Amino acid sequence: MGFRALFFFAAIFFSFSTTIIYSAYAEGEGEAEVGSGLVIDFYKDTCPQAEDIIKEQVKLLYKRHKNTAFSWLRNIFHDCAVQSCDASLLLDSTRRDLSEKETDRSFGMRNFRYLDTIKEAVERECPGVVSCADILVLSARDGVVALGGPQIPLKTGRRDGRRSRADVIEEHLPDHNESMSVVLERFAKMGIDTPGVVALLGAHSVGRTHCVKLVQRLYPEVDPALNPDHVEHMLYKCPDPIPDPKAVQYVRNDRGTPMIFDNNYYRNILDNKGLLLVDHQLAVDKRTKPYVKKMAKSQNYFFKEFARALTTLSENNPLTGDKGEIRRQCNVANKHH
C-alpha cells in the first residue's frame, strides 16, 4: 500500500471524533467463526491490564515518534493479509527463512522496534501470556484512534506463528499496481467485500508515498489521468525518473489534511489527485466508484465501513487454542528443545 501515513489532527476535532465507537458486532457483522477462539477481552482473567498497557504505550510512542501510528496500521494489513494474523511479519530472517520484513513488498515499513517496546511493557506485567499477534492488532486499533479515527472493538486470543510467510506474499498481498479485479479478488478471499476494500484504502488519506512507488505515473510520460495541478507538485517532489530508494523523496498522500485520518482521500481521488494507480482505479472503476462517492460525502459512512473491514481483516485465519505459540520476543520464534 505504499508508504503510509501520519494521520493526526486538531485537538478540538480529536476530542469529538474519538468518542465515537464503531462496532461490527452490534449488528452481528464481523463475528469470527464459531470455535475460532477469538473473543472480546480474551485476557480479562490472565492479564487484565494488557489492553490498557498497549493503549498507553501507543499513546506514549506517538507523542515521541509521530510516525509510529501509521506504522501500526500498515502492519495489520501486511501481516493479516498474508494467510493469517500470526505476527509472522515481525520475524527476523533465519538461515532457513527470509523475513517478510525484508521483501520488496515491505518497502518503507519501519518502527518494528517499537512493537518490541510494547511487548516488553506487557511482559513486565504478564510474562508469556499476550501474543505478538494480538499486540500487532491492538496497536493498529489504538493507532487509528490516536489519529482521530474511529474506536473499533477487536477480538483477541491470537497466537504467534513460528515461520515467516515471505514465500507466499505475492499470492495474497494486493499490490498498488494491480488491476482492480485482482485487488477485489484478493480481499474477497479474506471475506472483505467491495465497500470494505474502498474503506481500507482510505488509509491513504494520511502520510506520504515514496517516489519509488509513483514515478511510473510521471516518467517517461505523465499519466494523462492525473490532475495537471497535482502533477506539478509531484514532479517537484519526485524529480528523478529512477529515485534512490534510500533518499527522502516523498509526496504527501493528502496535501489538504495530511495528518488527519478522514474522508478527504475520496474527494482527492475523484478530483484525479490519487498518487498510486490503485487510487485512480478506485475512483473510476464502476464497481468501486459508487462507494468512493458515498464515502466522499459521509465520513460517518467511511468510518463505519472501515471499522467493519478492519474487523474482518483482523480475524483472518488466526492461530488459536494450541496452535502456534506465545513468543517471548516478537522478532524471533521461541526455541523448542
Catalytic machinery residues: 78
Strands (E), the chain: 208-210, 250-252
Report the C-alpha gap between 327 and 310 in whole angstroms: 24
**CA 317, CA 82: separation in Å to the nearest integer?**
10
- Known binding residue 185? Answer is no
Q: 204 labelled as ligand-binding?
A: yes
Q: What is the grid cell recorded at 242?
A: 529512477
Does residue 280 have a known ligand-binding role? no
Cα 53 to Cα 227: distance, rounded to the nearest angstrom: 45
222 annotated binding-site participant: no
Distance CA 72, CA 65 (A): 12
Q: Would the annotation count 228 as a binding residue? A: no
Cell of 111: 518502527
- Does the annotation place 71 within a ligand binding site? no
Cell reading at 112: 518494528
233 assigned binding-site residue: no
Whether 94 has a binding-site annotation, put simply, is no
DSSP, residue by residue, 139-194: HHHHHHHHTT--B----B--BB-SS--GGGHHHHS--TTS-HHHHHHHHHTTT--H
262 labelled binding-site residue = yes
Neighbour-count burial of 162, counting CB atoms closer than 10 A to its CB (0-12 exposed, 13-18 middle, 19+ buried): middle
Q: Is 174 annotated as a binding residue?
A: yes
Nearest to 89 by CA among 102, 97, 79, 103: 79
**For residue 115, how far is the Cα from the chain centroid?**
14
Cα distances (angstroms) measured from residue 335 to each of 115, 329, 331: 20, 11, 12
| Cβ(43)–Cβ(130) below 8 Å | yes
Binding residues for heme b: 204
Residue numbers belonging to the annotated binding site: 79, 82, 86, 88, 100, 174, 204, 254, 257, 262
Binding residues for Ca(2+) are 79, 82, 86, 88, 100, 254, 257, 262
